[in-house]
Amino acid sequence: MALIVQKYGGTSMGSPERIKNVARRVAKFHAQGHRLVVVVSAMSGETNRLVALAQALSRAPDPREMDMVVSTGEQVSIGLLALALQDIGVPAKSYTGGQVKILTDSAFSKARILGIDEAAIRRDLSEGKVVVVAGFQGVDADGNITTLGRGGSDTTGVALAAALKADECQIYTDVDGVYTTDPRIVPEARKLDTITFEEMLEMASLGSKVLQIRSVEFAGKYKVKLRVLSSFEEEGEGTLITVEENRNMEQPVISGIAFNRDEAKITVLGVPDQPGIAYQIVGPVAEANIDVDMIIQNVGRDGTADFSFTVSRGDLDKTVNVLDRVKAVIGAKAIEADKNLCKVSVVGVGMHSHPGVAAKMFRTLSEEGINIRMISTSEIKISVAIEEKYLELAVRVLHKAFDLDRHI
Ligand code: ADP
Ligand code: ASP
Ligand code: MG
């Protein structure tokens, strides 16, 4: 019999009725003789409510206290699911991240998992219990509660599957798999039966929140068999994340389109065009633990350059503060910020062998009068930054242009 880690997201845990539904599904697997570890998220809307409460009391909440607050949603969920399981006769025991323990570093709100002590879980499993673990949270070496970043319960699920060498990690959510793009934006989006790790990693990092990026990284690194499924449907194979490329003749050039509204652009104007400047700008930003995304530099005729890059919107003010400090040192003229951007990306391993993807993408956008503000590429993706008001239009026309709505 298999050892399975199942993860249920916020919508799946959204009400007592839905929690009963999750309990019934878990009970079904348990009755088949499988050993089960179940990771759950906070009930839908709960984490946002907790963030808003903290923000109502503090303009710049202390990160440690913020994690203390936002981690509580998952504690409620584990207790409720354990109760629901016991109520239908399934022995179950709940654990917070700290109780397991899921050891993380101390980067509050974006902590990384360093290790998992699986002894207690294994003991319970061998006694036939279903183990219910709080997603999204861990504990650092000093005993502080930490959280893993929004959507982090996926990562808890995959990390547990890796630590326990589970046969499969099943991510149950409110869609029945990974689609060619977010089906809420493009109703014609198609469910993919499989997607490669490489592609899923790009899709997740470029904004497809169906899986948190770190969960995909973990699954790739520790060879976890990872599947995305619907918690609302009884049947269905969902989407399997695979190592192997689908090598049949019909391999599409593009597998999916991802987008991210959470982009803000910063331009440092009039910096000298000389070695070391890029480092002097990006270095202090990285030291402040801010991720820099797309970068572009335009060199003018007067020997100065404009250096632009994007960060997530939540990091914008912090980034401007950091740059205000370096502005005088590097001799920049001004710093500009723009919050009205978004990023749209086409992703596909098939791009390797098909020239002309960028040309097609740019033509499609130009036909709609959409101006491209920044571009970045890798072997299997092309991303553009555009004005946010064009996001839905861009995703729809690109989805069509690359034939993603066509059944193959
Ligand atoms: P959960 O609460 O279960 O973790 P999330 O809201 O985090 O669920 O992720 C599921 C959502 O991801 C879907 O409802 C869908 O709107 C969105 N999504 C974005 N891109 C995709 C995609 N390519 N395929 C499927 N869902 C996607
Ligand atoms: N509850 C957390 C969030 O809303 C973690 C998760 O759902 O994965 O981001
Ligand atoms: Mg999620």
Sequence spans of domains, the chain: 3-174, 256-401
Helix residue ranges per DSSP H, 210-276 = 213-221
Cα angle 205, 171, 64 (rounded to 5 degrees) comes to 60
Burial zone of 328 (CB within 10 Å; 0-12 exposed, 13-18 middle, 19+ buried): exposed
Q: How far is CA 156 from CA 44, 239, 277, 394, in A?
A: 17, 19, 39, 33
User: Averaged over 125-152, what is the pLDDT?
Assistant: 98
Q: Which of 165-174, 230-239, 345-354, 378-387 has the lowest mean pLDDT?
A: 345-354
What's the CATH number of domain 256-401, 3.30.2130.10, 3.40.50.2000, 3.90.550.10, 3.30.1360.230? 3.30.2130.10
C-alpha pair distances (Å), 227 with each of 52, 237, 379: 32, 8, 25
Residue 181 Cβ inside 6 Å of ligand 1? The answer reads yes
Considering only CA atoms, give the Rg of the chain.
23
Instruction: Give the C-alpha separation, 342 to 390, whole Å.
Output: 9
Question: Residue 381: is the preceding peptide bond cis (ω within 30°)?
Answer: no
CA dist., res. 255 & res. 348, Å (int) = 5
Give yes or no for residue 211 CB within 6 A of ligand 1: no
CA of 245 to the centre of ligand 2 (A): 30
CATH of 3-174, one of 3.20.20.70, 3.90.550.50, 3.30.980.10, 3.40.1160.10: 3.40.1160.10
Residue 408 has pLDDT above 80, yes or no: no
pLDDT the model gives residue 97: 98
Q: How many residues does the chain have?
A: 408
Q: Tell me if 58 sits within 8 A of 26, measured CB to CB.
A: no
Give the sheet arrangement for strand 35-40, strand by strand.
92-95, 130-134, 35-40, 3-8, 168-173, 226-230, 239-242, 194-196
Between strands 194-196 and 239-242, the pairing is parallel
What is the rounded CA–CA span in Å between residue 118 and residue 364? 51
State yes or no: pLDDT of 369 exceeds 80.
Answer: yes
Residue pair 124/187 in contact (Cβ under 8 Å)? The answer is no
Q: Is the CB of 179 under 6 A from ligand 1?
A: yes
Question: For the chain, how far is it from start to end, CA to CA, in angstroms?
Answer: 35
Stretch 271-275: mean pLDDT, rounded?
89
- pLDDT tier at 400, thresholds 50, 70, 90: very high
Mean predicted lDDT score pLDDT of the chain: 94
Residues 385-395 as b or e (16 or more Cβ within 10 Å = b): bbeeebbeebb
Ligand 1 atom nearest residue 203's Cα: 23
pLDDT at 246: 57
Q: Tokens 């597998």 label which residue?
A: 255
Do 262 and 385 meet the contact criterion of CB atoms below 8 Å apart?
no
DSSP category for residue 315: G
- Counting ligand 1 atoms within 8 A of each CB, the residue from 44, 153, 175 with the most, and so the one to mutate, is 175
Least confident of 43-57, 131-145, 173-187, 239-253: 239-253
The tens digit of pLDDT for each residue in 299-344 reads 888 889 999 999 999 899 999 999 999 898 888 999 999 999 999 9
In the chain, % of residues over pLDDT 70: 98
**What pLDDT sits at residue 252?**
76
- How far does residue 208's CA lie from ligand 3's centre (Å)? 10
Rounded distance from Cα 250 to ligand 2 centre (Å): 36
Measured from CB, residues less than 6 Å from any atom of ligand 2 are: 9-10, 41-42, 47, 73, 135-136, 150-154
| C-beta 147 within 6 A of ligand 1 | no
Residue 253: the pLDDT is 85
In this predicted model, what pLDDT tens digit does every residue of 1-21 receive, in sequence order? 899 999 999 999 999 999 999
Burial of residue 31 (number of CB atoms within 10 Å: 0-12, 13-18, 19+): exposed
What's the pLDDT band for 245 if we cut at 50, 70, 90? low
Q: Residue 247: which residues within 8 A CB-CB, separation 6 or more?
A: none
Question: Residue 22 belongs to what H/E stretch?
Answer: helix 16-31
Phi, psi at 19, each rounded to 5°: -65, -40
**Pairing verdict, β 35-40 and 3-8:** parallel
